[in-house]
Structure 1
Amino acid sequence: MKDMLTVALPKGKLFDDAVELLREAGLNTKGLSENSRKLVIHQEKDRVKYIICRPTDIPTFVEYGAADFGIVGKDTIVEQDKDIMELVDLRFGFCRFVVALPDAAAKGRDLTQFNYRRVATKFPKVAESFFAEKGMQVEIIKLHGNIELAPAVGLADMIVDIVSTGRTLKENNLTAVEEIFTATARLVANRVSYRLKHKRIQPFVERVRSLVKDKEVTY
Protein backbone atom coordinates (compact mmCIF):
# COMPACT_ATOMS: atom_id res chain seq x y z
CA MET A 1 0.00 0.00 0.00
CA LYS A 2 1.24 3.43 -0.89
CA ASP A 3 -0.06 4.95 2.34
CA MET A 4 1.28 2.18 4.61
CA LEU A 5 3.45 3.61 7.36
CA THR A 6 6.52 1.63 8.38
CA VAL A 7 7.85 2.38 11.85
CA ALA A 8 11.27 1.27 13.14
CA LEU A 9 11.34 0.50 16.86
CA PRO A 10 14.50 -0.01 18.93
CA LYS A 11 15.13 -3.13 20.95
CA GLY A 12 16.39 -2.53 24.48
CA LYS A 13 15.79 0.21 27.01
CA LEU A 14 13.85 2.55 24.71
CA PHE A 15 11.39 -0.07 23.49
CA ASP A 16 8.65 0.09 26.15
CA ASP A 17 8.55 3.89 26.25
CA ALA A 18 8.49 4.01 22.45
CA VAL A 19 5.54 1.61 22.21
CA GLU A 20 3.62 3.49 24.90
CA LEU A 21 4.16 6.79 23.09
CA LEU A 22 2.92 5.35 19.80
CA ARG A 23 -0.15 3.97 21.54
CA GLU A 24 -0.89 7.35 23.16
CA ALA A 25 -0.45 9.02 19.77
CA GLY A 26 -3.17 6.83 18.29
CA LEU A 27 -1.31 4.01 16.51
CA ASN A 28 -2.38 0.40 16.89
CA THR A 29 0.41 -1.22 18.94
CA LYS A 30 -1.31 -4.55 19.54
CA GLY A 31 1.10 -7.47 19.39
CA LEU A 32 4.24 -5.43 19.92
CA SER A 33 6.58 -7.16 22.32
CA GLU A 34 10.33 -6.92 22.62
CA ASN A 35 10.40 -10.57 23.70
CA SER A 36 8.65 -11.75 20.56
CA ARG A 37 10.74 -13.41 17.86
CA LYS A 38 8.75 -11.58 15.20
CA LEU A 39 10.75 -8.71 13.77
CA VAL A 40 8.04 -7.44 11.42
CA ILE A 41 4.48 -6.87 12.64
CA HIS A 42 1.67 -5.81 10.31
CA GLN A 43 -1.47 -3.92 11.28
CA GLU A 44 -3.14 -4.13 7.87
CA LYS A 45 -6.41 -2.53 8.92
CA ASP A 46 -4.61 0.49 10.34
CA ARG A 47 -2.06 0.58 7.49
CA VAL A 48 0.92 0.40 9.85
CA LYS A 49 3.90 -1.94 9.80
CA TYR A 50 6.46 -2.18 12.58
CA ILE A 51 10.02 -3.40 12.27
CA ILE A 52 11.91 -4.15 15.47
CA CYS A 53 15.68 -3.85 15.23
CA ARG A 54 18.89 -2.89 16.96
CA PRO A 55 18.95 0.81 17.90
CA THR A 56 22.17 1.35 15.94
CA ASP A 57 20.48 0.10 12.76
CA ILE A 58 17.46 2.39 12.91
CA PRO A 59 19.09 5.44 11.23
CA THR A 60 20.10 3.19 8.31
CA PHE A 61 16.60 1.72 7.92
CA VAL A 62 15.15 5.24 7.96
CA GLU A 63 17.76 6.81 5.68
CA TYR A 64 17.23 4.21 2.95
CA GLY A 65 13.43 4.27 3.24
CA ALA A 66 12.96 0.77 4.66
CA ALA A 67 11.18 2.64 7.46
CA ASP A 68 9.26 5.89 7.09
CA PHE A 69 10.14 6.96 10.58
CA GLY A 70 11.64 5.56 13.74
CA ILE A 71 12.64 6.18 17.33
CA VAL A 72 16.32 6.30 18.25
CA GLY A 73 18.65 7.95 20.75
CA LYS A 74 20.32 11.26 19.96
CA ASP A 75 23.65 9.59 20.77
CA THR A 76 23.21 7.25 17.79
CA ILE A 77 22.07 10.09 15.53
CA VAL A 78 25.14 12.18 16.29
CA GLU A 79 27.59 9.29 15.96
CA GLN A 80 26.22 8.03 12.64
CA ASP A 81 25.34 11.37 11.02
CA LYS A 82 22.86 9.80 8.59
CA ASP A 83 20.75 11.82 6.15
CA ILE A 84 17.51 11.71 8.13
CA MET A 85 15.07 14.24 9.58
CA GLU A 86 15.09 14.73 13.34
CA LEU A 87 11.52 15.73 14.20
CA VAL A 88 10.82 15.58 17.94
CA ASP A 89 12.73 15.30 21.21
CA LEU A 90 10.73 12.56 22.96
CA ARG A 91 12.14 13.38 26.41
CA PHE A 92 12.78 9.82 27.54
CA GLY A 93 15.90 7.65 27.52
CA PHE A 94 18.04 10.44 29.00
CA CYS A 95 21.78 9.82 29.10
CA ARG A 96 25.02 11.80 29.04
CA PHE A 97 28.14 11.54 26.92
CA VAL A 98 31.09 11.81 29.31
CA VAL A 99 34.84 11.47 29.44
CA ALA A 100 35.80 9.24 32.36
CA LEU A 101 39.17 8.53 33.97
CA PRO A 102 40.25 6.02 36.60
CA ASP A 103 39.45 7.44 40.05
CA ALA A 104 43.10 7.90 41.01
CA ALA A 105 43.98 9.70 37.78
CA ALA A 106 40.94 11.97 37.94
CA LYS A 107 41.71 13.61 41.27
CA GLY A 108 42.86 17.18 40.91
CA ARG A 109 43.93 16.86 37.29
CA ASP A 110 42.74 18.76 34.25
CA LEU A 111 41.68 16.75 31.19
CA THR A 112 44.18 18.59 28.99
CA GLN A 113 46.96 16.91 30.96
CA PHE A 114 45.97 13.70 29.17
CA ASN A 115 47.04 14.82 25.71
CA TYR A 116 48.51 12.10 23.47
CA ARG A 117 46.78 9.37 25.48
CA ARG A 118 44.52 6.52 24.37
CA VAL A 119 40.72 6.73 24.54
CA ALA A 120 38.39 3.72 24.35
CA THR A 121 34.85 4.28 23.08
CA LYS A 122 31.92 2.94 21.10
CA PHE A 123 31.50 6.43 19.66
CA PRO A 124 34.69 7.34 17.76
CA LYS A 125 33.14 10.25 15.82
CA VAL A 126 31.82 11.89 18.99
CA ALA A 127 35.15 11.37 20.76
CA GLU A 128 37.22 12.62 17.84
CA SER A 129 35.14 15.77 17.47
CA PHE A 130 35.23 16.51 21.20
CA PHE A 131 38.99 16.19 21.60
CA ALA A 132 39.65 18.08 18.36
CA GLU A 133 37.60 21.01 19.68
CA LYS A 134 39.72 20.97 22.83
CA GLY A 135 42.89 20.99 20.73
CA MET A 136 43.94 17.60 22.08
CA GLN A 137 45.55 14.79 20.12
CA VAL A 138 44.50 11.34 21.28
CA GLU A 139 44.49 7.81 19.90
CA ILE A 140 40.93 6.54 19.69
CA ILE A 141 40.31 2.82 20.14
CA LYS A 142 36.88 1.62 19.07
CA LEU A 143 35.24 -1.10 21.15
CA HIS A 144 31.77 -2.60 20.90
CA GLY A 145 31.07 -3.17 24.57
CA ASN A 146 32.47 -3.20 28.12
CA ILE A 147 34.19 0.12 27.60
CA GLU A 148 34.82 0.39 31.35
CA LEU A 149 37.21 -2.53 31.13
CA ALA A 150 39.73 -0.70 28.92
CA PRO A 151 41.47 1.43 31.60
CA ALA A 152 41.51 -1.48 34.06
CA VAL A 153 43.58 -3.68 31.73
CA GLY A 154 45.80 -0.93 30.32
CA LEU A 155 44.18 -0.77 26.91
CA ALA A 156 43.30 2.90 27.27
CA ASP A 157 43.89 5.78 29.67
CA MET A 158 40.31 7.06 29.56
CA ILE A 159 36.94 6.37 27.99
CA VAL A 160 34.15 8.23 26.24
CA ASP A 161 30.79 6.62 26.88
CA ILE A 162 27.14 7.28 27.58
CA VAL A 163 25.90 7.05 31.16
CA SER A 164 22.53 7.53 32.80
CA THR A 165 22.92 7.13 36.56
CA GLY A 166 26.71 6.76 36.63
CA ARG A 167 26.48 3.53 38.61
CA THR A 168 28.52 1.47 36.12
CA LEU A 169 31.35 4.00 36.21
CA LYS A 170 31.41 3.93 40.00
CA GLU A 171 31.43 0.14 40.12
CA ASN A 172 34.46 0.12 37.81
CA ASN A 173 36.40 2.81 39.72
CA LEU A 174 35.93 5.47 37.06
CA THR A 175 35.06 9.15 37.45
CA ALA A 176 33.34 11.33 34.86
CA VAL A 177 35.55 14.40 34.48
CA GLU A 178 33.80 16.19 31.64
CA GLU A 179 30.36 16.09 30.03
CA ILE A 180 30.27 16.24 26.24
CA PHE A 181 26.50 16.54 25.74
CA THR A 182 23.21 15.04 26.88
CA ALA A 183 20.98 12.81 24.76
CA THR A 184 17.38 11.62 24.71
CA ALA A 185 15.25 9.56 22.33
CA ARG A 186 14.18 11.29 19.11
CA LEU A 187 11.53 10.76 16.46
CA VAL A 188 13.26 10.66 13.07
CA ALA A 189 11.91 10.34 9.53
CA ASN A 190 12.99 9.52 6.00
CA ARG A 191 13.11 12.72 3.96
CA VAL A 192 11.25 11.32 0.94
CA SER A 193 8.59 9.61 3.06
CA TYR A 194 7.98 12.80 4.98
CA ARG A 195 7.22 14.59 1.74
CA LEU A 196 5.21 11.87 -0.02
CA LYS A 197 3.26 10.71 3.05
CA HIS A 198 2.99 14.10 4.66
CA LYS A 199 -0.79 13.90 5.14
CA ARG A 200 -0.37 10.81 7.31
CA ILE A 201 2.90 11.60 9.02
CA GLN A 202 2.41 15.26 9.95
CA PRO A 203 -0.76 14.80 12.07
CA PHE A 204 1.00 11.98 13.92
CA VAL A 205 4.06 14.17 14.52
CA GLU A 206 1.86 16.95 15.89
CA ARG A 207 0.17 14.50 18.28
CA VAL A 208 3.56 13.33 19.50
CA ARG A 209 4.74 16.91 20.01
CA SER A 210 1.61 17.63 22.03
CA LEU A 211 2.13 14.53 24.19
CA VAL A 212 5.75 15.26 25.09
CA LYS A 213 5.92 19.05 25.26
CA ASP A 214 5.22 19.27 29.02
CA LYS A 215 6.82 15.98 30.07
CA GLU A 216 9.83 15.88 32.34
CA VAL A 217 12.88 14.15 30.92
CA THR A 218 13.09 10.55 32.12
CA TYR A 219 15.88 7.97 32.17
Structure 2
Amino acid sequence: MQEPLILAVPKGRILDEALPLLARVGIVPEAAFSDPASRALRFHTNSPAIDLIRVRAFDVATFVAHGAAQLGIVGSDVLAEFDYSELYAPVDLGIGHCRISVAEPADLAERDDPRGWSHVRIATKYPHITRAHFEARGVQAECVKLNGAMELAPVLGLAPRIVDLVSSGKTLKENGLVEVEVIAQVTSRLIVNRAAFKTRAGQVVPLVDGFRRAVA
Protein backbone atom coordinates (compact mmCIF):
# COMPACT_ATOMS: atom_id res chain seq x y z
CA MET A 1 0.00 0.00 0.00
CA GLN A 2 1.30 3.47 -0.90
CA GLU A 3 2.28 5.86 1.89
CA PRO A 4 -0.36 8.53 2.58
CA LEU A 5 0.13 11.96 1.06
CA ILE A 6 1.18 14.52 3.66
CA LEU A 7 -0.52 17.92 3.57
CA ALA A 8 1.27 20.61 5.61
CA VAL A 9 -0.98 23.26 7.16
CA PRO A 10 0.07 26.38 9.08
CA LYS A 11 -0.73 27.04 12.71
CA GLY A 12 -2.80 30.09 13.57
CA ARG A 13 -5.23 32.32 11.72
CA ILE A 14 -4.94 30.72 8.25
CA LEU A 15 -5.73 27.29 9.70
CA ASP A 16 -9.08 28.53 11.08
CA GLU A 17 -10.03 29.63 7.54
CA ALA A 18 -8.56 26.51 5.92
CA LEU A 19 -10.51 23.91 7.93
CA PRO A 20 -13.91 24.62 6.28
CA LEU A 21 -12.14 24.51 2.90
CA LEU A 22 -10.56 21.14 3.73
CA ALA A 23 -14.02 19.86 4.72
CA ARG A 24 -15.39 20.92 1.31
CA VAL A 25 -12.57 18.94 -0.32
CA GLY A 26 -13.60 15.97 1.84
CA ILE A 27 -10.66 16.07 4.29
CA VAL A 28 -11.61 15.92 7.98
CA PRO A 29 -8.80 15.63 10.57
CA GLU A 30 -8.97 13.19 13.47
CA ALA A 31 -10.33 14.52 16.79
CA ALA A 32 -6.85 15.04 18.28
CA PHE A 33 -6.20 17.76 15.68
CA SER A 34 -8.67 20.07 17.47
CA ASP A 35 -7.59 19.08 20.98
CA PRO A 36 -5.64 22.02 22.51
CA ALA A 37 -3.99 19.60 24.96
CA SER A 38 -2.56 17.46 22.15
CA ARG A 39 1.16 17.88 21.44
CA ALA A 40 1.03 15.72 18.29
CA LEU A 41 2.24 17.28 15.03
CA ARG A 42 1.09 14.60 12.55
CA PHE A 43 -2.55 13.59 12.28
CA HIS A 44 -4.66 11.07 10.41
CA THR A 45 -7.77 12.18 8.53
CA ASN A 46 -10.99 10.48 7.45
CA SER A 47 -9.02 9.35 4.37
CA PRO A 48 -6.27 6.75 4.84
CA ALA A 49 -4.60 8.32 1.77
CA ILE A 50 -4.01 11.72 3.46
CA ASP A 51 -2.26 12.77 6.69
CA LEU A 52 -1.89 16.33 8.00
CA ILE A 53 1.09 17.96 9.66
CA ARG A 54 0.70 21.27 11.50
CA VAL A 55 3.81 23.49 11.45
CA ARG A 56 4.77 27.17 11.47
CA ALA A 57 3.68 29.05 8.34
CA PHE A 58 7.26 29.67 7.16
CA ASP A 59 8.07 25.96 7.60
CA VAL A 60 5.18 24.77 5.39
CA ALA A 61 7.07 25.87 2.26
CA THR A 62 10.30 24.21 3.46
CA PHE A 63 8.63 20.85 4.22
CA VAL A 64 6.95 20.79 0.80
CA ALA A 65 9.96 22.09 -1.17
CA HIS A 66 12.17 19.35 0.26
CA GLY A 67 9.57 16.62 -0.30
CA ALA A 68 8.92 15.84 3.38
CA ALA A 69 5.30 16.82 2.64
CA GLN A 70 3.77 16.56 -0.83
CA LEU A 71 1.27 19.44 -0.51
CA GLY A 72 0.73 22.44 1.72
CA ILE A 73 -1.30 25.56 2.40
CA VAL A 74 0.74 28.73 2.74
CA GLY A 75 0.53 32.48 2.25
CA SER A 76 1.84 34.07 -0.94
CA ASP A 77 4.14 36.14 1.33
CA VAL A 78 6.07 32.99 2.28
CA LEU A 79 6.30 31.89 -1.37
CA ALA A 80 7.68 35.29 -2.38
CA GLU A 81 10.20 35.33 0.47
CA PHE A 82 11.66 31.87 -0.22
CA ASP A 83 11.03 31.54 -3.97
CA TYR A 84 11.63 27.76 -3.96
CA SER A 85 11.90 26.39 -7.52
CA GLU A 86 10.64 23.00 -6.25
CA LEU A 87 7.20 24.43 -5.46
CA TYR A 88 4.20 24.67 -7.74
CA ALA A 89 1.25 26.81 -6.54
CA PRO A 90 -1.72 25.75 -8.69
CA VAL A 91 -4.62 27.17 -6.64
CA ASP A 92 -5.24 30.56 -4.99
CA LEU A 93 -7.46 29.50 -2.08
CA GLY A 94 -8.87 32.99 -1.52
CA ILE A 95 -8.34 32.83 2.27
CA GLY A 96 -5.88 34.50 4.63
CA HIS A 97 -6.32 37.94 3.07
CA CYS A 98 -3.79 40.48 4.36
CA ARG A 99 -0.94 42.63 3.02
CA ILE A 100 2.79 43.17 3.44
CA SER A 101 3.30 46.79 4.41
CA VAL A 102 5.93 49.29 5.47
CA ALA A 103 5.07 50.97 8.77
CA GLU A 104 6.69 53.60 10.95
CA PRO A 105 5.86 55.63 14.08
CA ALA A 106 2.95 58.02 13.55
CA ASP A 107 5.01 61.07 14.56
CA LEU A 108 7.69 60.18 11.98
CA ALA A 109 5.06 59.59 9.29
CA GLU A 110 3.70 63.12 9.77
CA ARG A 111 6.93 64.65 8.45
CA ASP A 112 8.13 61.78 6.26
CA ASP A 113 7.77 61.22 2.51
CA PRO A 114 8.62 57.67 1.32
CA ARG A 115 9.31 59.07 -2.17
CA GLY A 116 12.37 60.84 -0.80
CA TRP A 117 14.03 57.81 0.77
CA SER A 118 17.49 56.78 -0.48
CA HIS A 119 18.47 54.47 2.41
CA VAL A 120 16.21 52.77 4.95
CA ARG A 121 16.86 50.58 7.99
CA ILE A 122 14.00 48.13 8.45
CA ALA A 123 13.16 45.36 10.90
CA THR A 124 11.40 42.48 9.19
CA LYS A 125 11.03 38.73 8.81
CA TYR A 126 10.89 39.34 5.04
CA PRO A 127 14.42 40.54 4.11
CA HIS A 128 14.24 39.15 0.55
CA ILE A 129 10.89 40.79 -0.26
CA THR A 130 11.94 44.02 1.44
CA ARG A 131 15.27 44.38 -0.38
CA ALA A 132 13.70 43.50 -3.75
CA HIS A 133 10.91 46.04 -3.24
CA PHE A 134 13.25 48.89 -2.37
CA GLU A 135 15.92 47.99 -4.94
CA ALA A 136 13.24 48.31 -7.64
CA ARG A 137 12.80 51.90 -6.45
CA GLY A 138 16.54 52.60 -6.23
CA VAL A 139 16.47 52.64 -2.42
CA GLN A 140 19.08 50.79 -0.37
CA ALA A 141 17.42 48.71 2.37
CA GLU A 142 19.37 47.60 5.44
CA CYS A 143 17.32 44.76 6.95
CA VAL A 144 17.36 43.66 10.58
CA LYS A 145 15.93 40.10 10.65
CA LEU A 146 13.34 39.45 13.35
CA ASN A 147 10.89 36.56 13.65
CA GLY A 148 8.27 38.33 15.75
CA ALA A 149 7.43 41.34 17.95
CA MET A 150 8.26 43.56 14.97
CA GLU A 151 6.38 46.52 16.44
CA LEU A 152 8.96 46.82 19.24
CA ALA A 153 11.79 47.64 16.83
CA PRO A 154 10.95 51.36 16.30
CA VAL A 155 9.99 51.86 19.96
CA LEU A 156 13.30 50.46 21.24
CA GLY A 157 15.48 52.04 18.54
CA LEU A 158 16.40 48.83 16.72
CA ALA A 159 15.11 50.19 13.39
CA PRO A 160 12.88 53.20 12.65
CA ARG A 161 10.63 51.26 10.26
CA ILE A 162 9.23 47.74 9.88
CA VAL A 163 7.92 45.56 7.06
CA ASP A 164 5.31 43.12 8.31
CA LEU A 165 1.99 41.40 7.59
CA VAL A 166 -1.02 43.61 8.27
CA SER A 167 -4.66 42.55 8.32
CA SER A 168 -6.78 44.95 10.41
CA GLY A 169 -3.94 47.31 11.39
CA LYS A 170 -5.01 47.09 15.05
CA THR A 171 -1.61 45.87 16.31
CA LEU A 172 0.18 48.69 14.48
CA LYS A 173 -2.19 51.28 15.94
CA GLU A 174 -1.80 49.94 19.48
CA ASN A 175 1.96 50.34 19.14
CA GLY A 176 1.83 53.86 17.69
CA LEU A 177 2.68 52.81 14.13
CA VAL A 178 1.02 53.64 10.80
CA GLU A 179 1.23 52.06 7.34
CA VAL A 180 3.05 54.26 4.85
CA GLU A 181 3.32 51.85 1.92
CA VAL A 182 1.77 48.54 0.80
CA ILE A 183 4.30 46.18 -0.83
CA ALA A 184 1.95 43.33 -1.79
CA GLN A 185 -1.51 41.87 -1.20
CA VAL A 186 -1.41 38.36 0.28
CA THR A 187 -3.68 35.31 0.03
CA SER A 188 -3.10 31.65 0.85
CA ARG A 189 -2.20 29.15 -1.88
CA LEU A 190 -2.25 25.41 -2.29
CA ILE A 191 1.33 24.36 -3.00
CA VAL A 192 2.62 21.06 -4.39
CA ASN A 193 6.08 19.56 -4.55
CA ARG A 194 6.94 19.43 -8.27
CA ALA A 195 8.50 15.95 -8.09
CA ALA A 196 5.47 14.55 -6.23
CA PHE A 197 3.19 16.14 -8.83
CA LYS A 198 4.86 13.88 -11.42
CA THR A 199 5.64 10.72 -9.44
CA ARG A 200 2.33 10.59 -7.51
CA ALA A 201 0.08 12.26 -10.08
CA GLY A 202 -2.67 9.66 -9.57
CA GLN A 203 -3.13 10.87 -5.98
CA VAL A 204 -2.05 14.51 -6.25
CA VAL A 205 -3.95 15.66 -9.36
CA PRO A 206 -7.45 14.65 -8.10
CA LEU A 207 -6.69 16.41 -4.81
CA VAL A 208 -5.63 19.62 -6.59
CA ASP A 209 -8.81 19.42 -8.69
CA GLY A 210 -10.80 18.99 -5.47
CA PHE A 211 -9.34 22.22 -4.07
CA ARG A 212 -10.10 24.02 -7.35
CA ARG A 213 -13.75 22.94 -7.12
CA ALA A 214 -13.97 23.86 -3.42
CA VAL A 215 -12.70 27.38 -4.14
CA ALA A 216 -14.94 27.84 -7.21
3-state SS of paired residue (2:128): helix
CA contact (8 A) 1:62 1:190 kept: yes
- Cα distance, 1:136–1:197 mapped onto 2, change above 3 Å: same
Matching residue of 1:7: 7
What RMSD in Å do the two structures reach over aligned CA positions? Answer: 1.7
* Alpha-carbon shift at residue 12 of structure 1 (Å): 1.1
Matches within 5 A, 1:20-169: 20-31=20-31, 32-33=33-34, 35=36, 36-43=38-45, 46-82=48-84, 83-107=86-110, 109-169=112-172
* Runs (4+) off by over 4 Å: none
Larger mean CA deviation between 113-122 and 176-185 belongs to 113-122
Matches within 5 A, 1:139-218: 139-213=142-216
Point out where structure 1 has 5 or more consecutive residues left out of the alignment. 214-219
Q: Measure the CA separation in 2 of the matches of 1:25 and 1:144.
A: 33
* Alpha-carbon shift at residue 44 of structure 1 (Å): 8.3
CA contact (8 A) 1:15 1:34 kept: no
* Alpha-carbon shift at residue 185 of structure 1 (Å): 1.0
Matching residue of 1:216: none
Over residues 118-165 of structure 1, what are the superposed CA-to-partner deviations in whole Å (9 max), with x where a residue is unaligned?
111111011100110110113111111111111112211211111000
Over residues 18-47 of structure 1, what are the superposed CA-to-partner deviations in whole Å (9 max), with x where a residue is unaligned?
222112101242323262211112348622
Over residues 96-116 of structure 1, what are the superposed CA-to-partner deviations in whole Å (9 max), with x where a residue is unaligned?
011112111212532133332
Q: Measure the CA separation in 1 of the matches of 2:28 and 2:180.
A: 44
CA contact (8 A) 1:25 1:208 kept: yes
- Cα distance, 1:45–1:69 mapped onto 2, change above 3 Å: closer
CA contact (8 A) 1:6 1:67 kept: yes
* Alpha-carbon shift at residue 189 of structure 1 (Å): 0.5
Point out where structure 2 has 5 or more consecutive residues left out of the alignment. none
Q: Measure the CA separation in 1 of the matches of 2:197 and 2:134.
A: 35
3-state SS of paired residue (1:170): helix
Identity %, equivalent residues? 40
CA contact (8 A) 1:3 1:197 kept: no
- Cα distance, 1:149–1:114 mapped onto 2, change above 3 Å: farther
Q: Measure the CA separation in 1 of the matches of 2:195 and 2:140.
A: 39
CA contact (8 A) 2:133 2:183 kept: yes
- Cα distance, 1:204–1:196 mapped onto 2, change above 3 Å: same
CA contact (8 A) 1:88 1:186 kept: yes
Count of paired positions: 213
**TM-score (ref. length: structure 2):** 0.91
